[in-house]
Amino acid sequence: MNIAIVGSTGAVGQELRQLLHERSFPVTGVRFFSSPRSAGKQVDFGGTSVTVEALPEDGNLGAELVFSSAGGSVAKAHARAWAEHGALVVDNTSAWRMDPNTPLVVPEVNADAIDTHAGIIANPNCSTILALMALAPLHRAFGLTRATVATYQAVSGAGAKGLDELTRMTRAALDGTPAEPEVFEHSVAFNLFSHDSDVGEDGYNVEERKLLLESRKILGVPDLAVSATCVRVPTYRAHAEAIHAAFERPVSDDEARAVLASAPGVTLVDDRAGNRFPMPLDASGQDNVLVGRIREDASLPGGIALFLAGDQIRKGAALNAVQIAEAWLERGRPGGR
């Protein structure tokens, strides 16, 4: 299969290149695209050097499968044209997620939605994917009615430049030299702050709204209640989330643990005696989402509290996108591409 990665030099693009090789995706040809800034640069694909190109004007990427990972404005402007040239577009950005004709897919949760695509399949927001890896199996077993979520989001959620900013600001703070933040509004060194997305009139920011709207769409529960507080923290990689969830009936912690123990893509890390629970450093580079601290919620009778950590560049973005493409192949390439 001829594939293209748009945004191939970014944090997600780099992970996509690695994963396609690692998972022996059936690749016969690759084309890697970036902004004109990186065009001409050499990047690695399974030990082979490939020249990065600027996007062609005519929208023909010469690929049957396009991984789109260059930001929402690029996807909004071009993804339809890439699809019209015959490609299936798996889009990592927020551009098409809430479009009624575009399936929004976490393969462990709603792989069958792939069959309804019209050229574009959207990869959900990273915090939403990680939350649903735990909440969807619980929903299937007990009927999720509401969730309160607090996120602890790594700087790489803002791309490769977020990583550089944490290093630069931390080094400056340790050296006692002045440094101005460039990527985030506030210093990320030894600090944390409300997620760097716009706050709406209701007081929720864009990231928090994604958790509500995308969860409803993926689970197919239009009246699901989700209240999120999204926070940027000074970790390089892997987001963590504290979740409090209520269901159609009271759920015990043993019942919840049993469901999560057999959930695909989930690893239980729930060692009360050893005080070992999910951590971003353990989740970094892992495919599975780590879930633990499973307990009956003392403030929400019948509800469950838990804590998770997951690699948001991997399962929250690149891995989920590759899994969508794999599921599309396994399902016989629905959509005629």
CB nearest ligand NAP: which residue? 10
Please report, as ranges, the residues that interact with ligand NAP according to CB under 6 A.
6-13, 33-35, 37-38, 55, 69-72, 74, 92-93, 126, 156-157, 159-161, 312-313, 316-317
Q: What is the largest CA-CA distance in the chain?
A: 60
* Residue 260 vs 319, nearer CB to ligand NAP: 319
- Per the annotation, the verdict on 126 as an active-site residue is yes
Task: Report in angstroms how near the CB of residue 320 gets to ligand NAP at its nearest.
Answer: 9
Please calculate the CA angle 37-317-52 and round it to the nearest 5 degrees: 25
What is the spatial order of strands in the sheet that 266-268 belongs to? 193-194, 225-232, 144-153, 239-247, 304-310, 289-296, 266-268
* Residue 59 vs 72, nearer CB to ligand NAP: 72
Task: Report in angstroms how near the CB of residue 280 gets to ligand NAP at its nearest.
Answer: 12
Task: Report in angstroms how near the CB of residue 33 gets to ligand NAP at its nearest.
Answer: 6
Helix (H, G, I), strand (E, B) or coil at 267: strand
Rounded Cα gap, residues 235 and 277, in angstroms: 17
Rounded Cα gap, residues 43 and 32, in angstroms: 9
Taking the CA atoms of 153, 25, 35 and 120 in sequence, report the sign of the dihedral they define.
Answer: negative
Task: Report in angstroms how near the CB of residue 158 gets to ligand NAP at its nearest.
Answer: 7
Task: Report in angstroms how near the CB of residue 115 gets to ligand NAP at its nearest.
Answer: 24
Which DSSP string do the residues of 40-87 spell out, in sequence order?
A: T-EEEETTEEEE-EEPPTT---S-SEEEE-S-HHHHHHHHHHHHHTTP
Task: Report in angstroms how near the CB of residue 76 gets to ligand NAP at its nearest.
Answer: 10
* Residue 108 vs 270, nearer CB to ligand NAP: 108
| Set 78, 126, 139, 230: catalytic member | 126
Place of tokens 């002045």: 178
**C-beta of residue 157 within 8 angstroms of C-beta of residue 125:** no
Strands of the chain (E only): list them: 2-6, 29-34, 42-45, 48-51, 53-54, 65-68, 88-91, 120-122, 144-153, 193-194, 225-232, 239-247, 266-268, 289-296, 304-310
- Per the annotation, the verdict on 230 as an active-site residue is no
DSSP 314: I
| Set 78, 139, 195, 239: catalytic member | 239
* Residue 55 vs 219, nearer CB to ligand NAP: 55
* Residue 62 vs 143, nearer CB to ligand NAP: 62
* Residue 16 vs 246, nearer CB to ligand NAP: 16
Alpha carbon 245 to its chain centroid, in Å, reads 21
Active-site residue numbers? 126, 239
